[in-house]
Chains A and B, each alone.
Chain A
Amino acid sequence: MNRLEKKAWANLGGMILCVIIAGPGIWWMASNNIKGPVVLIPFLISGLIAGSITYLKSIKHWAKLDEREKNIAQRAGRLSSGVFILFLYCASFTVFLVVGAKGPVPAYLLPAMFLSGLFLMVFVYSAAILVQFARERDDE
């Protein structure tokens, strides 16, 4: 397993950790209609975990990748960015279709949409890297 594959697995592990740690808090706040700065705590915790695993490690690892690995990472990056934009596009239009042009939307829905998109993006990025390496191995 090379550096990029390890990084992809670390991303997936980090995502699961974020869901396990911050998920119940977000769920509790949404169901109890919690307001104020306390709302930021689970988001900050999950952001710190995800950020330290995905972003900081990326900078350290990027310099060590060779050109083929960088190509694979860039292809995965392009795919995941596309999926992120498509997800936000579909989610925002779904809200529009469901509640109508002037219908009320709960405030938690907007960060939930954004964070879900972000999670989907990291998942697609990591999965795309693993799939590309797995396909190469199958061809060997």
Chain B
Amino acid sequence: MNSEHISNRIRRLRFEKGEMTQQQLADLVGVTRQTIIAIEQGKYAPSLPLAFQIARAFGVPLESVFQYEPENPASTHNSLL
């Protein structure tokens, strides 16, 4: 999955949530620590269910964790019309 334009605040949220470790978050959402590392670094874009699970683990809405930044906002806007 292309994760070029999806940024996230997982690292910041982990520290705000009592310095939660990557392993603790991984155990909470049922993935490996390597997957959390890949998501944090923006190398892997999680599926919607996993993204929701991560957001739920922090007790925040999805858009507070993941942000989509289109390369060309104008073309995205046109394609939606």
Contact = CB atoms under 8 A, between A and B. Distances in A.
Interface residues of B, number: 14
Interface residues of A, number: 9
A66 B32 contact: yes
Contacts of A140: 37, 41
B32 A2 contact: yes
Contact of A71 (B1, B32, B34, B41): B1
A2 B37 CA distance: 14
What is the predominant secondary structure among interface residues of chain B facing chain A? loop
Interface string B26-41: 0000111011011001
B11 interface: no
| Majority secondary structure of chain A interface residues (helix, strand, loop or mixed) | helix
Interface of B: 1, 30-32, 34-35, 37-38, 41, 43-44, 46-47, 50
